[in-house]
Each structure stands twice: as C-alpha cells, then as structure tokens.
Structure 1
Amino acid sequence: MKVIKNYLYNAGYQILLMLAPVITTPYVSRILGANNNGINTYTNGWVTFFYLAGQLGISLYGNREIAYQRSDKYKRSKIFWEIISLQLLTSSIAFTAYIIVVMMFSSAFKVYFLLQALWIIAYGIDVSWYFMGMEDFKKTVSRNTIVKLITIALIFVLVRNKNDLAKYIFLLGFAQLAGSLTLWPYLRKSIQWVKISSWRPFKHFYPALLLFIPTITTQIYLVVNRIMLGRMAPQAAVSQFNFGDNIVKLVLAIVTATGTVMLPHIANKFASGDIKGVHASLYRSFDFVTAIATPLMFGLMAIAYKFAPWFLGSEYGPTGGVIFFEAPAILMIAWSNVTGTQYLMPIHREHEFTISVTIGAVVNVIANLFLISLYGANGAAIATVISEFSVTTVQLFYIRGTIRRRKLFAPIWRYLLSGLFMYLVVSRINEIMNMTIINLILQVALGALVYVVCLLIMRAPIVTQAKELLKKK
C-alpha cells in the first residue's frame, strides 16, 4: 500500500508541476500571444541545459543513494551533506557560466535570458531527491501545492498584456525557487549534522556524472525541438508546438510518476538481494503503465483537433495536429520509463541506459532536420515519437537476458484493442459535438467507461490486480 500511496502523491506532484502552466495557458496564450510565448519557450530551452549541468544528474543519483541507506540515519545524513555540497558547487559554476554566455552573446532577448537564471538557482538548492529516496512524497506535494497556487493567482493578477512577458518569466522562475526553499525546514528532523571534515563530496562526482549524461541527453531531444523550431520556423510555431507538447507531457506525468516511486523501491530491494522481488515489481509496473498510458494516448488523439483551438485560442489551431501526432509518445515513454528508470537505473546498468537515450537524441536531431522543414511543428512532434520508439527498442534489447519480454508484452493486445475501440467511439462523438467544458467531461467519462468495459470483457491482467488490491484493502 505504501508504494500505491507514494504513486498517488508523486502523480499529484508531477501533475502539479505541469498543471500550473496548463491552468494559466488559456489566459497566457491569449494575453501574451504566440510570439511572446515563443520567446519564453526559446529562452527557457537554453537555460534548461545550464540548470541540468548544475544538478549533474543528482536528482536520480541522490534518490537512489538515499534509498540504499534509508535505515541508517548517520549514513544517509553524511550522504546528504556530501551530495548537496557537490550540487551547490556545480550549480554555482553553471550559474556563472550562464551569466557570462548571456552577457557576451545575447542581444535581442537578454533581459528574458537573465530572468530565466532563477531556474538555475532553484534547481541548485533543490532537495526533493532526498525525500523521494526516503519514499516520503507527501511533504513535496503539500508544500509545492501551496506555492503553485499562489503563483497561479499572481499570474492572473500581474500579467495583463503583451508587455508583461518579463513578469511572467520571473513568476515561473520564482515559483520553482520558492518550491525548493520550502522543503529545507523538513530536513531538520530527518537528518543530523555531520562534521565537514568527514565529507567526501567528490566521490559522488563520477557516479552522478554517469547519470547526468543520460539526463542531459534526454533533455536534448526534449528541448532541441523547440530550439530547432526557433531557428527553422516562426516563433509562433515554437509556442504552438510547446503548448501541444506540454499538454501531452501533462497526461504523461500520470504514467511516469511510477518511475520516481519505483526507483527507490526497487533500489532498496536490489540492495537487500531480493532479485525475484525486483523482477516481480517490473512485470506488474509494465502492465500497470500500459493499462494507464493506452487510454490516455487514444483519448488525446480523439479530441486533439477540436480541443486545441478551444482551450488555447484560435491562434493555436495547429497545436491540435501536434497533440495528435505526439500522443503515441505517451506509450513509448511509459514503457521506457519501466525498462530504464525502474530497472536499468536501480540495478547499476546506467551505461546501457545512457546508450539508449543517446541513440534517441541522435535519432531525434536527424529526424528534426528532415521533418521540421517539411511539416513544421507537426514534424517536431513526429520526430519526438520516432526518437522515443528508438529508446524503448534499445532498452528492450538490453534487458533480453534477464527479463522475459514475451511475458511483458503478452497482455498488451488487450489494452491496445480496448483503447482503439475507445478512440473510435470518442472521436465520433467529438465530431458531432461542439467543444465545451460539459461536452469535454462527457467525452472523457464515456471514453473511460468504454475502455473499462472492454478490459473487463477481455479479462485484462490489470483487472485482476485491481480485485486483489480491493481484497487487501
């Protein structure tokens, strides 16, 4: 039950991170316009590389290392102080490098680039990885919920016209910074002070760097779409793609929340030598994410073209195509989240994980070169799906010796067939209905009902898992 509770907390946290901008999106997309939103996306795309370089893969590494020493307060405290001191050092270097680059090379968007620097500071003092390693997600969710709600209110109050882009960028960065700061008071009861003379922060540099490589590589094909669009297409196309991508990633957060929860859980099992438990958790998790990701994918595709202009405004009609073409990435990322984040990472097979995401990044850049010039924002969406497919394929190849892939995929047809039938029903209803909030809720409810009924008829494994869970409850 603890894993399920942590999943719900983390799902809430991941959704919150994406929901804050999505709640404000209909307002901001109209107030700032496609061009200004494109500038925000473009400048934030560049700062992403610097704050990731500052964090140095510590988000995943720290999560895992704390999970290994969860039961020993002194050891986990020592690890915490070593890792956070390393994170502060590398983030300071990244911040300095970013400011120098902005002052030397930026001209048109210098003010916006400087405001984006708040993200580097925010991630430099972030300690959420400690609480994730402790499998304590409640604190992270509750504190960030308050910060995000205040930020949303301030956006509606302070961002009033196209001249308020700087205020908007500042508020987003400040929200991230405030969220990081509010977690520090909770550390007082969980860790103890360890003498600085006993710290060995640099012993964590190399293993954290090994996890930084796949992290930064993954971000390359998350951010490179926006940067390449900014170079090859109008700024409006960047914001049209960005909003579509954000909507897909919002839905995806429900699925990938399992990765952050299961990583410390499986790492703890691996550290105690419970290999059978690791494999059993993997099979259940793969079935679960497939059952959840499939209806989310088909549901988004069914409503995409009418939903985008209704939600974002008429200026964002092309975003419907972005959502439709990028939606299959939900299933691909769900699978690679299990094979990569939940399996390869906790059992120290980072090298194979790194190779898989590196191949994905290379594929993404090559696909973008051809597809953006042909199809614009839709091309970037298709390139995302192709790259995620390549990552999943490589990871499935690597786990062939220890995980029975046939067992993983045996029930998949039940979910895909149920999802496809749901898509046909919802897309038909969507064609004959006008897009309103009531009609949207009806379509979502109908789609969920159709999908669940199909799963019951086909006796999908997730149904059995749900029944067992209810009996235990």
Structure 2
Amino acid sequence: MSIAKNYIYNVIYQIVTLIIPLITVPYISRVLGSNGVGVNAYTNSIIQYFILFGTIGISLYGNRAIAYVRDDKDELSRTFWGIFILKMITSIVAYSIFSLFLQATNTYQFIFLVQSILILAAAIDISWLYMGLEDFKKTVIRNLIVRILGVVCIFIFVHSASDLWKYVLILALSQFLGQLTLFVYLPKTVKKVKIKWSDIKKHFMPSIYLFIPQIAIQIYVVLNKTMLGYFSNTNEVGFFDSSEKIIKMVLAVVTAMGIVMLPRISNTFARGDMDKVKDYLYRSFDFASYLSIAMMFGMAGIASELTPWFFGPGFDRTGVVMTVISPIIVFIAWSNVLGQQYLMPVGKVKGYTVSVCIGAIINFIFNLALIKYYQSVGTAIATVVAELAVTAVQLYWVRKDIEIKKLITSLWKYFICGFAMYGIIRVIGQFMEVSYKTTIVQVIIGASTYFILLFIFKSELNKQLFNSVWKNFKKVILR
C-alpha cells in the first residue's frame, strides 16, 4: 500500500482515538464540570504508568520487528507470537502490581478500578502487527465502529456529575473492544507455530532498550497531570487536560506520518538503501514543518474565541493554556521525524533515548518550579521547554548523518506565512463575538491566507500538494 494511502488511514486512526472524546468534551465539561474532567485525567495519568510497565516498549519494538521480517511468513508468525506472549506476561505482572496499589490507595478507588480496563486493553493490543505490515485500513475501520458506539453510549448514559464512573467505563470499554476486534483478521495474517521460550525471551532486551525512552516520554506526558493534581488541584488538571486534548488532535494529523514511515524506513534500512532512507527523512521533515507551523499559529490564534463556547462556563483559563502550549505542535512534529522516522529505524536508539531523557528531566524541574506559581500555565510552559530540548538534542545527534541546511531550507517561508495568518485570525477575533461561527470564519480565512501566501512565496511542496489534490478531484468529477 502507498505511503499516501497509509498516511490517510493512519491520520483517520489517530484522529478517531482522540476526536471521539473531543466530540463529547463540550457536553462532558458541562455535565461533569472541571473537577470531574480533572478526576478522570488524574486517575488516567496514574493508570498510564501501569500500562507503560505492562507493555515495556513492546508495541513500538513490535512495529519495527514486524517490518524487518514481513516478507517471510514463517518468521513473521514466529516473531508475532513471541512478542505477543511476552507482552501478555509483562501485562499480567503490571496488573498484579496495580492490584496492590488499589488496596493501598484511599482516593478514587472505584474510578481507578474502572480505569484499569485500559491495562487489559493495552495487553491485547496487536495494532503494531498491522502497522509493521503497513496495513492501516483494518485498525481504522474496526476502531471507528466501536468508538462511534461509545459516543452514543456517553450521550445516553452520562447525565450528571455522579455519572463520572459511567463516562470512564464507556471510554475504557471502547478501547478494550476496539483492540479485541483486530483479532478477527489474525488467522489470515499469521500462522500457528510452535513457540519455544527462546522465541519469547529474545524480544525482551530489545523491548527494554525502547522501554527506557518510553519511561522518559511518559514522565513529561503523564507526570504533568500527576504533578499538577498533587501540587495544585483537579480543576487545574481539567484546564490543562482540555487544552491538551485539542492540541493532540491537531498533532495526530502530523505525527501519523511517523507511524506510517517507521515500518517503511525500517524495511528500507534492512535492505541497505541509506540514500532512500535520507530522502524519506528530508521529505517527511518538510511536510511535517509545512503542516505543524500552520497548526501552531492557527491554534494560538483561535484559542481565545474557541474555548468559551466549546468547553462552556468555567473553562476560560483553558484558552490561555492552549495558546502557551501550541509551540509543541512544531517541536513534536520535528522530533517525530528525527526520532521515530530516523534514529529508531536505523538502530540509533541511544540518541533517541538521550533526547527524551533530557526532556523528561527538564520537564520535571520546570514543573516543580512553575506549578506553584502558575499552575496549569506553568505546566504548559514546562511542556514546551521539554519538547524544545528533545528536538534540539535530536538535531545535534543527527548532525553528522544528514544535511541540517537541507532540512530547514523552507522553514522561513512557513514561519512568515504562519505569523501573517495568526495576525489575521486575531483581527477577526477582535471584531466578531465569541461563537462557533467566529471559529469557523477564523479557520477558513486563516487557512486560505496561509496557502495563498505560500503560493506567492513559491513553495514547491504547497504547489505539489495542491496539484495532487486537484488531479484527484478531477478524477472523481469525471467518474
């Protein structure tokens, strides 16, 4: 399947996993309030630690491992079952530790128990198999159906603040059932093979090597909310979580390319074609910059007018947090290309690990220093600084392998056009009242400004993308 089609499928997959709760946010934020949203975010952040230790980097490793052997059905099957059994063993250990934690804690005990379904969902997740095979269509269709049913259930069963546990249960079961449906395709994908203990344990250490950066990533992704909840309050967690949900939905469009390119680059590297690997890297970085810079300025521009009508009363602070945190769209897009699309596929995991560990340390220090004074805004600042550090370290790590100048050659065009777009969006916001109509106008005029200005600046990528869209559009019309 082509990279373009896989990218589209994976964009859909990533957006589905994030947009479903986002669709319900205006309703849930009003029904549960910032405290209820904060309790869900806080307890979920704790559960993510058990998921992390249960999967120990296996899913990320599995994606790459499958890509290496996908042309050999016997080796593919042996690799899959070895990794899957290892993941089940580590997940059982993680859930056992969670059971001890549940007995020791006195707060939100029932909510924690419901959230623990997510640990089981992570245990049976085999999406890494299909991603390694570059077959994203299956994961998209099955998850889409299950998650739409989940949205319907939320509107049917969640009506008051006391229904928080129902909301958490619906989200967790949607995740679990979505993963379970992927097993329908398994018999046609892999064969039953006799597995020895050596086939299982050989995957343990390579997974551990990827587990270390996963821990670091989790520190500045999940620990944000844990520290915010501990040093501040659940309302502030709700503000940060709500803004992060929107930012992550936007990010999904960009980072989807990373998941698509990881197996492709891994397979290309296994064949020894380094020139092609670098060509993929340059093109992917340019595309990521093209999208992410526009999205950063766009989200910062619409935040003030979006949050009041979208989240409802009591969420005004979310707009400020969203504006402050918006630069991570660019930094994560860049580190996704450098880390997941280059360092990991070519086996330079050490560089990736060092970068995210430095990011985690910086995030922890800045959170410790800023939360007390700035609360959710402080956490947003800490997140931005951490992501900037990760990107900077990765750029330093790849400086001898690739031409940095070739990576950044078009950035000035994207930043100038993005800043101009931001200015126009803010002018619209000053003259129009807060409503969904204003947001729609801002998005349409802002996006049009960005693309038109890039035509004026003669952006080659902008021209190629629009020619491709126009060509496909004409094909549909002629049919």
- Band the TM-score falls in, shorter-chain normalisation: over 0.9
Partner of 1:245: 244
Q: 1:265 to 1:41 in 2, by over 3 A?
A: same
Partner of 2:445: 446
The whole-number CA distance in structure 2 between the counterparts of 1:399 and 1:301 is 30
Q: 1:174 to 1:205 in 2, by over 3 A?
A: same
What are the equivalent positions in structure 2 for 1:204-219 lying under 5 Å apart?
A: 204-219=203-218
The whole-number CA distance in structure 2 between the counterparts of 1:354 and 1:268 is 22
What are the equivalent positions in structure 2 for 1:138-157 lying under 5 Å apart?
A: 138-157=137-156
Q: Which amino acid aligns with 1:19?
A: I
The whole-number CA distance in structure 1 between the counterparts of 2:310 and 2:216 is 32
Shift of 1:351: 1.0
Mark the runs of 5 or more structure 1 residues left unpaired by the alignment: none
Partner of 2:85: 85
Shift of 1:309: 1.7
Partner of 2:331: 332
Partner of 2:101: 101
Q: Which amino acid aligns with 2:56?
A: L
What are the equivalent positions in structure 2 for 1:112-151 lying under 5 Å apart?
A: 112-151=111-150
Partner of 2:270: 271
CA contact (8 A) 1:287 1:461 kept: no
For the aligned residue pairs, the C-alpha RMSD in angstroms reads: 1.3
Mark the runs of 5 or more structure 2 residues left unpaired by the alignment: 473-479
What are the equivalent positions in structure 2 for 1:196-211 lying under 5 Å apart?
A: 196-197=195-196, 200-211=199-210
Shift of 1:102: 1.4
The whole-number CA distance in structure 2 between the counterparts of 1:431 and 1:139 is 45
Partner of 1:71: 71
Partner of 2:171: 172
Shift of 1:250: 0.8
Q: Which amino acid aligns with 1:52?
A: L
Partner of 1:29: 29
4+ residue runs of structure 1 moved beyond 2 angstroms? 196-199, 435-439, 463-473
Q: Which amino acid aligns with 2:429?
A: N
Partner of 1:60: 60
Shift of 1:212: 1.2
Q: 1:443 to 1:472 in 2, by over 3 A?
A: closer
Deviation per CA, 1:81-137: give whole Å up to 9, x if none.
Answer: 000000000001001101111112x10211111111101000000000000000000
CA contact (8 A) 2:305 2:435 kept: no
The whole-number CA distance in structure 2 between the counterparts of 1:270 and 1:470 is 30
Greater CA drift, 129-138 or 33-42: 33-42
TM-score after normalising by structure 2: 0.96
The whole-number CA distance in structure 2 between the counterparts of 1:124 and 1:140 is 16
Q: Which amino acid aligns with 2:10?
A: N
The whole-number CA distance in structure 2 between the counterparts of 1:469 and 1:26 is 36
Tell me the secondary structure at the aligned position of residue 434 of structure 1.
Answer: coil
Deviation per CA, 1:290-323: give whole Å up to 9, x if none.
Answer: 0000111101101111211210012100000110
Shift of 1:467: 6.2
The whole-number CA distance in structure 2 between the counterparts of 1:371 and 1:126 is 37
Tell me the secondary structure at the aligned position of residue 385 of structure 2.
Answer: helix
The whole-number CA distance in structure 1 between the counterparts of 2:112 and 2:427 is 45
Q: Which amino acid aligns with 2:51?
A: Y
Tell me the secondary structure at the aligned position of residue 399 of structure 2.
Answer: helix
Q: 1:395 to 1:277 in 2, by over 3 A?
A: same
The whole-number CA distance in structure 1 between the counterparts of 2:198 and 2:257 is 32
Shift of 1:33: 1.1
Partner of 2:477: none
The whole-number CA distance in structure 2 between the counterparts of 1:95 and 1:198 is 22
The whole-number CA distance in structure 1 between the counterparts of 2:223 and 2:308 is 25
Deviation per CA, 1:354-373: give whole Å up to 9, x if none.
Answer: 01000000000001111111
Q: Which amino acid aligns with 1:8?
A: I
Aligned-pair identity (%): 44
The whole-number CA distance in structure 2 between the counterparts of 1:346 and 1:197 is 27
Q: Which amino acid aligns with 1:65?
A: A
Q: Determine if the alignment matches structure 1 residue 361 to structure 2 residue 366.
A: no
Greater CA drift, 364-373 or 394-403: 364-373
Q: Which amino acid aligns with 1:393?
A: A
CA contact (8 A) 2:367 2:382 kept: yes
Shift of 1:439: 2.7
CA contact (8 A) 1:244 1:323 kept: yes
